[in-house]
């Protein structure tokens, strides 16, 4: 099922950027970046950040002969919100329609944070036929909200306070949350932190609130069970936004045959962390099946933990 109108079209160029927008049936215009030639790797972002949060990985993977596609979620980056709302069903339909309109097949889908819920809902609703594999980086799945059957989740009052602070002063809330997201001032430069904050601040207050509600209220456990393609879960053990114990480990355990990689000292914002972004690039290249090139910094062999291994 496609959410895109038949009249939308995208002009492809052999090696340079291709920018949408693709127009959905409810009027959202989705901005898409399309770099390089080769097997397709599609990047979807956390919360309101936009595709730019992946620019270090997209640049490196495109240089290694991969076609890298970055998608701005509706209402984020340079995409408009449309009228259908921000529930995971709609976000999943948007993502499926992007893959269909660009006729992408054998895709490696790379997600960050709440985009994991978007990806597994897309698989549940549309099937995995266009996917070769999925990498879930710092996922917020299977469920963020604390409940009797999810005791390690985040209490409801934390999300209530988040909505209240966003409503009172959205830019101040995002700025205050940045150090925890990035892992402290030592994890990124001051300039990169300001840049990252600016990415997240672009979305409207409505978009920011609605995505927060979707992220906090959704239980994705049934969706995880529908994932049948090879799946790599990457999670930092210092992630304060989506703790490893309540998110990374149960996400991996909920997907049959998945692999969990734990980054020691890793924060939520792994794609931009000074200490972890290059390792993440190498791990994604390895997952796609491309050997690490000498141009990327050397690192130790990452530890791989089978899904369902014991909790911390």
Which residues are identified as catalytic? Answer: 113, 239, 268
- Report the 10 Å Cβ neighbour count for 257: 12
Say how many C-beta atoms besides its own lie within 10 A of residue 153's C-beta. Answer: 18
Radius of gyration of the CA atoms of the chain, in A = 18
Which H/E stretch holds residue 168? helix 156-182
Buried b (16+ CB within 10 A) or exposed e, 11-45: eeeeeeebebbbbbbbebbbbbbbbbeebbbbbbb
CB 220 within 8 A of CB 122: no
Candidates 17, 19, 1; CA nearest to 9 is 19
190-201 in b/e form (b: 16+ CB < 10 A) is eeebeebbebbe
Element (H, E) at 42: strand 40-44
- In this structure, the number of other CB atoms found within 10 A of the CB of residue 100 comes to 16
């Amino acid at each position: 099922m496609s959410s895109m109108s038949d009249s939308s079209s995208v002009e492809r160029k052999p090696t340079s950027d291709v920018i949408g927008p693709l127009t959905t049936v409810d009027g959202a215009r989705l901005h898409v970046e399309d770099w390089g030639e080769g097997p397709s790797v599609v990047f979807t972002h956390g919360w309101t950040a936009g595709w730019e949060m992946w620019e270090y990985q997209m640049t490196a993977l495109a240089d290694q002969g991969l076609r890298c596609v970055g998608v701005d979620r509706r209402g984020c980056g340079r995409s408009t919100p449309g009228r259908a709302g921000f529930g995971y069903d709609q976000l999943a339909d948007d993502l499926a329609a992007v893959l269909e309109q660009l006729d992408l097949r054998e895709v490696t889908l790379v997600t960050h944070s709440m985009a994991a819920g978007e990806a597994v809902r897309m698989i549940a609703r549309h099937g995995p036929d266009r996917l070769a594999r999925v990498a879930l980086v710092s996922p917020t799945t299977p469920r963020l909200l604390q409940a009797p059957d999810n005791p390690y989740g985040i209490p409801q009052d934390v999300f209530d306070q988040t909505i209240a602070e966003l409503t009172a002063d959205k830019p101040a809330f995002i700025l205050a949350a940045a150090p925890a997201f990035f892992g402290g001032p030592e994890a990124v430069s001051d300039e990169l932190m300001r840049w990252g904050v600016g990415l997240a601040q672009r979305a409207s207050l409505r978009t920011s609130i609605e995505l927060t509600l979707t992220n906090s209220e959704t239980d994705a456990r049934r969706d995880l069970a529908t994932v049948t393609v090879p799946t790599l879960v990457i999670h930092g053990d210092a992630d304060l936004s989506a703790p490893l114990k309540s998110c990374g480990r149960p996400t991996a355990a909920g997907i049959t045959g998945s692999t969990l990689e734990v980054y020691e000292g890793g924060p939520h914002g792994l794609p931009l962390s000074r200490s972890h972004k290059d390792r993440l690039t190498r791990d994604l290249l390895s997952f796609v099946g491309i050997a690490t090139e000498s141009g990327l910094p050397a690192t130790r062999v990452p530890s791989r933990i089978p899904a369902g291994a014991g909790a911390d």
